[in-house]
Amino acid sequence: MYYFKMKAISLWPNSDPFSCPKTDQFILPFTITDIEEYDTAEAVVQAAKEHKLVVFVMGKPPALYYLYKMGIQDDFNYTNSSLYTSNFYRAVKKDNKEMLTTINKGFAKISESEYKAIDEQWFGSKNLNLYEHPLLKIIVSIGGTILVVAMLLFLWNRTLQRMVRQRTSELTEALIARKQVEAEIRTLNTELENRVQQRTAQLEELNSELEESNALLEEEIVKREIIEEEIRNLNDGLEDTVKMRTCQLDMLNSVLEQQNSLLHESQRVAHLGSYVADIKKRDWLCSPELCEVFGIDDTYPHTEESWMKIVHPEWRSKVSNYFLQAARAHQGFDFVYKIIRINDGAECWVHELGKFELDENHKAYRLIGIIQDITDRKFAEEKIVYLSLHDQLTGLYNRRFFEEELKRLDVPGNYPLTLVMGDVNGLKLINDSFGHAYGDELLKHVAEVLSEGCRKGDIIARLGGDEFVLLLPNTDTVETEKILKRINELAKKKRVGTVEISISFGYETKNSEEKDILEILKRAEDYMYKKKLFEGPSIRGKTIQTIIRTLHEKNTREEQHSYRVSELCQKMGEALCLLDGEVQELKNVGLLHDIGKIAIDENILNKPEKLSFDEWEEVKRHPEIGYRILSTANGMAEIAEYVLAHHERWDGLGYPKGLKREELPLQPRIIAIADAYDAMTSSRSYRDALSNKVAIEELKKNAGTQFDPVLVELFIQKVINPTPNF
């Protein structure tokens, strides 16, 4: 086996004994430049497939075999003439003639066609049956597929035709229903059309007037040709009038369009939607605004059952009964009820107005109406009703409700009927000390205590301020005492900050119809005031102690300052040879002089920088606050006056009253000196403590202006114990 490499070669089919690529060119003279040998026939054909050679010489059977095996049989030609011929012989060993005879007989049995088949098999070619040809199988497969697809398309087409006919029928029915709805909408718009017709009639009248004016003008033109200039001027004026009327007409049309737009917008803003219900078909149609009110979309079924599903379960029977009654009586539909929105489950109130339409037999067959979401209005009304009967601060019933209940419960079936009056002790004192917000919190806790202590069905009301009343039906004196005991025990457990809850109670019971209920109420109130007079001083004393303790807990510096000032006042009283009771009173004033600071913001009291004008004005309120606190306690009226005046000056420039000299009582003059001295010799958030020497110099410097000069001298000599050189 050889491979011929040529400089240039071009062969035509079946031109020579060499196998070569197919071409339509004629062979040209060439020169063999290279001959390459291969080990196997398969290697030669593989090289031909990879285009490493164009002509090769080898035996025809193996060449055809590998050409077909590698799929390149159509790329090469071969000649029928041979370069050389080799014969194959059958041979056996010598003297084995019997085997030779057997072999020859066997080959003799092979027919010419069998030889040809064997030859074709070894040449690599095969005569394919037409029905076994691969291309025919492919064509048959494709044809079968096309036939199946055609059958499927035919069936699908028939199905689509049935669906189209069915859908067309449904659309026709929907179109008929839509036309009916449009007819009803036209009926609803009749009023609007009437208005348009009225406006149109007015415009026609204006146009008629304009035409008459034109006719008159033309007559004037004919009659007065000599005054053409004047007529021309009149025409100009007429054109202006026409333009003006045209503008007015355009404006009217624009206004009409705006009104239509505003109508739709107002329905949306007002949560107002419309509907048409077919009573016979039991279905309904609605506007987009109503869909929004119901919380539904286009997929929601518009049946009678679906409508009732929107209605709140507690209202379904009421709505159904009302609807049936209105339909029988041919009355309009005007009803307020509750619904549950489909999309979010929210409960809403709606107001429905409807009108029944009657058929030729005077039976209702259609309902046209509107529905408005009035949830906000309903809640507002309920809130107004609630506030009209309840105390806004505590949530208890108010005086108005109590007075109505008092009349309602004043019947023999509720006897014995007990009325309990309660008054919160120390409320004014707490308001003055801690502020009204603190007092309001106390009242809320009192309301909680009363609610927990009373029974279900008892009426608890706040009459105003610090007064409460309990209305206890079917309750005798023994049961009332148990209830009040339970309330007092609950009150002891509750505190507002450090303040205890204290309530004075008085009650009276009505056992018979002869007694006047208002007289019973008055007696309960009288008993309450008597008890308050008995308990009040003790409660106020406890409250004042609580205020002092709270102030000292809030500001330990104030606690130390109060005790030092109290001690200085005691020494000053002893230096003045006052009576023991007066010295003790002066000591107490020194201890309580800054009690009003309980109501001053802690941040202001502890501010390290200089106070602003507003902050300083706030601090200056503490003498008045202290006065209000102490004046509520029995036996502390004079001390309250001294606390009020402890920031007055000798020259009258102090606060809050601007008293001067002997107008000031002795006690506040002493407190002013002791307070100033301790303030100077103690550390403050904004400065360090001053020495005694510096403090004494300041007292001397301000003697006769801020302080009583005689008391300053005595304070330095007897209380501070100055140096011997003084």
Query: Residue 300 pLDDT > 70, yes or no?
Result: yes
Q: Is the pLDDT of residue 269 over 50?
A: yes
User: Residue 295 above 60 pLDDT?
Assistant: yes
- Residue 96 phi/psi, 5° resolution? -110, 55
Confidence band for 281, pLDDT divided at 50, 70 and 90 = confident
- 216-225, 449-458, 531-540: least confident range: 531-540
pLDDT of residue 712 exceeding 80: yes
pLDDT the model gives residue 13:
34
CATH topology for 270-380? Beta-Lactamase (3.30.450)
Q: 22-31, 193-202, 218-227, 336-345 — which is least confidently predicted?
A: 22-31
pLDDT the model gives residue 472 = 94
Predicted confidence (pLDDT) at residue 593 exceeds the cutoff of 70: yes
Structure tokens at 601: 């913001």
Question: What confidence tier does 301 reach under pLDDT thresholds 50, 70, 90?
Answer: very high
- Percent of the chain scored above 90 by pLDDT? 18
The CA distances from residue 71 to 18, 22, 47, 67, 125, in Å, are 19, 15, 14, 6, 12
Q: Other C-beta atoms within 10 Å of 440: how many?
A: 16
Closest CA to 60 of 36, 34, 83: 83
**pLDDT bracket for residue 5 (50, 70, 90):** very low
Q: Which CATH superfamily is domain 555-720 in?
A: Hypothetical protein af1432 (1.10.3210.10)
CATH architecture of 390-533: 2-Layer Sandwich (3.30)
Q: What is the pLDDT of residue 184?
A: 78
The whole-number pLDDT of residue 322 equals 87
**b/e 372-403 (16+ beta carbons within 10 angstroms → b):** bbbbeebeeeeeeeeeeebbeebebbbeebbe
Give pLDDT, residue 638.
Answer: 83
pLDDT of 27:
42
Query: Does residue 120 have a pLDDT over 70?
Result: no
Q: What is the pLDDT of residues 402-422, one digit of tens each?
A: 999 999 999 999 999 999 999
> Is residue 448's pLDDT more than 90?
yes
Is the pLDDT assigned to residue 249 strictly greater than 80?
no
The pLDDT value recorded for residue 228 is 66
Q: Over 60: is that where the pLDDT of 25 sits?
A: no
Mean pLDDT of 375-389: 83
Looking at per-residue pLDDT, the higher value among 208 and 3 belongs to 208
Least confident of 23-37, 73-87, 579-593: 23-37
Task: Name residue 21's beta-bridge partners.
Answer: 76
User: Facing residues of 113 across strands?
Assistant: none
DSSP assignment of 24-66: SSPP----EEEEEE-SSHHHHHHHHHTTS-S-EE--HHHHHHH
- Does residue 679 surpass a pLDDT of 60? yes
- Note the pLDDT of residue 478: 93
- What's the whole-model pTM score? 0.46
Question: Is the torsion defined by CA of 548, 554, 559, 565 positive or negative?
Answer: negative
Q: Are 495 and 448 in contact (CB under 8 A)?
A: no
Please tell me which residue, 235 or 12, carries the higher pLDDT value.
235
β partners of residue 347 = 340
Nearest to 682 by CA among 668, 669, 700, 695: 695
* Extents of the domains making up the chain: 2-77, 190-268, 270-380, 390-533, 555-720
Range in 251-255, 468-472, 585-589 the model is least confident about: 251-255
Annotate 492-512 with b (16+ C-beta within 10 A) or e (fewer). Answer: eeeebeebbbbbbbbbbbbee
